[in-house]
């Protein structure tokens, strides 16, 4: 089944890994979309690291370079953009979808499994080929220190949930102009100018006031989970945005498995609940009320799983979706992902 892509640009539905958003629709025509990526945390946890990472995926916007955006050409897969700390003194960087997930340029190159040594090698090979401008070699020709590794191979370290909504050609063009014209100078702050704040403000440029800071459930700190929660809640009031949810699984292998992202009050309760009860029962009660009232959000069940190692998934991405694959990828649920209800827990009085 071949389809026409939005913006008047012919494109097979499967040639859009930039289907990641449009792929999840079993409709006659593909569409432009913008998605919040909620990336699970992994590795040793600091006080706020249980939040994971947040990024934005656009299926009709591509990267002319890591610091410049442009409209996609036929056959291109779209771009992931996010705010980073300590990569070339830039505030945001843009990566094509495939290398962002797997540090390769095509699905045929994706390893079936991954271990630490291979991950280091494949990431550095991509850096040397494409990212010297933002992560140059050291004087002795080795890979630099810093967080550049976050730009490539994200799916080796963690599973990624996507929450996508519709976009238009006009919105995409406005975003390209906005990002290309403004200064791209590092301003990262883990509390109030973090990766989730970047996702929040970017989504709000498409849908004003769709995602707000959660001063109760997250104590005013924007977390990746709160951005997904806010967008999911917004979609219940505005079903025309066409919210869809998908899951990109972590690549199998020897690397530690990622785990569920947590909001601020959720993380405090799960990690420090017992000591807090001993030290201050009143504080514990206040945090618990904040979490229950404004912080709970469960990842949607039966999200379509996009696993490129599956031959059926490859066929789906090549533009030949089958009902069998959709049922398999969504845990046997017969109706398309676009018709499922996102599970949003604990949002009284319509607040987000």
DSSP labels for 159-209? -EEEEEEE--HHHHHHHHHHHHHS------BTTTBSHHHHHHHHHHHHSTT
Q: What is the DSSP letter of 51?
A: G
SS3 339: helix
Question: Which range among 20-24, 30-34, 127-131, 306-310 shows the weakest confidence by mean pLDDT?
Answer: 20-24
Name the residue with tokens 């432009």: 32
The closest of 346, 171, 336 to 246, measured between CA atoms, is 336
The closest of 61, 52, 24 to 243, measured between CA atoms, is 24
With a CB cutoff of 8 Å and minimum separation 6, the contacts of 118 are 111
CB 338 within 8 A of CB 23: no
CB atoms under 10 Å from CB of 260, counted, come to 16
Residue 210 has pLDDT above 50, yes or no: yes
- Report phi then psi at 218, rounded to 5: -120, 15
C-alpha to C-alpha distance for 285 and 241, rounded to whole angstroms: 37
Residue 105 has pLDDT above 50, yes or no: yes
Kindly indicate the confidence band of residue 351, based on its pLDDT and cuts at 50, 70 and 90: very low
Q: What is the mean pLDDT of residues 196-213?
A: 91
Strand partners, 83: 92
CB 157 within 8 A of CB 27: no
C-alpha to C-alpha distance for 143 and 135, rounded to whole angstroms: 8
H-helix or E-strand spanning residue 86: none
- The pTM assigned to this predicted structure is 0.74
Kindly indicate the confidence band of residue 214, based on its pLDDT and cuts at 50, 70 and 90: low
Question: Which range among 127-131, 133-137, 225-229, 346-350 shows the weakest confidence by mean pLDDT?
Answer: 346-350
DSSP states along 214-252: -TTTSTT---HHHHHHHHHHHHHH-GGG--EEEEEPPPP
CB atoms under 10 Å from CB of 245, counted, come to 25
Mean predicted lDDT score pLDDT of the chain:
74
- pLDDT at position 260, please? 75
Residue 2 has pLDDT above 50, yes or no: no
Read off the tokens for 33. Answer: 């979309």
Residue 50 has pLDDT above 80, yes or no: no
C-alpha to C-alpha distance for 253 and 125, rounded to whole angstroms: 20
Kindly list the distances between the CA atom of residue 87 and the CA atoms of 69, 120, 136, 251, 285, in Å, as whole numbers in the listed order: 18, 17, 10, 25, 40
Give the number of C-alpha atoms closer than 13 A to the C-alpha of residue 123, restricted to the C-beta side: 25
With a CB cutoff of 8 Å and minimum separation 6, the contacts of 290 are 216, 217, 219, 265
- pLDDT at position 79, please? 94
C-alpha to C-alpha distance for 313 and 219, rounded to whole angstroms: 40
């Amino acid at each position: 089944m071949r389809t026409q892509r939005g913006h008047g640009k012919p494109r097979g539905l499967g040639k859009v890994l930039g289907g990641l958003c449009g792929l999840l629709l079993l409709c006659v025509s593909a569409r432009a979309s913008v998605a919040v990526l909620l990336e699970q945390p992994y590795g040793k946890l600091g006080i706020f690291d249980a939040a994971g990472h947040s990024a934005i995926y656009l299926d009709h916007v591509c990267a002319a370079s890591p610091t410049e955006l442009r409209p996609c050409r036929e056959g291109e897969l779209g771009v992931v953009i996010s705010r980073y700390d300590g990569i070339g003194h830039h505030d945001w960087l843009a990566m094509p979808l495939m290398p962002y997930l797997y540090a390769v340029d095509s699905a045929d190159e994706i390893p079936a499994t991954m271990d630490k040594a291979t991950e280091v090698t494949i990431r550095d090979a991509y850096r040397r080929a494409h990212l010297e401008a933002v992560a140059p070699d050291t004087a002795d020709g080795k890979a630099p220190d810093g967080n550049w590794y976050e730009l490539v191979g994200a799916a080796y370290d963690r599973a990624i949930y996507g929450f996508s909504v519709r976009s238009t050609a006009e919105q995409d063009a406005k975003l390209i102009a906005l990002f290309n014209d403004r200064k791209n100078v590092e301003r990262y702050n883990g509390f109030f100018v973090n990766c989730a704040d970047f996702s929040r403000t970017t989504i709000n440029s498409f849908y004003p006031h769709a995602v707000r800071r959660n001063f109760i459930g997250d104590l005013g700190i924007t977390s990746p989970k709160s951005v997904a929660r806010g967008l999911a809640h917004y979609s219940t009031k505005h079903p025309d945005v066409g919210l869809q949810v998908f899951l990109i699984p972590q690549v199998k292998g020897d690397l530690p498995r990622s785990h569920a992202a947590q909001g601020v009050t959720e993380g405090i309760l799960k990690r420090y609940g017992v000591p807090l009860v001993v030290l201050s029962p009143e504080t514990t009660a206040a945090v618990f009320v904040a979490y229950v009232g404004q912080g709970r959000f469960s990842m949607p069940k039966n999200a379509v799983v996009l696993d490129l190692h599956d031959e059926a998934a490859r066929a789906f991405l090549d533009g030949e979706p089958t009902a069998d694959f959709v049922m398999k990828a969504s845990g046997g649920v017969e109706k398309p992902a676009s018709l499922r209800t996102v599970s949003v827990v604990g949002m009284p009085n319509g607040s987000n």
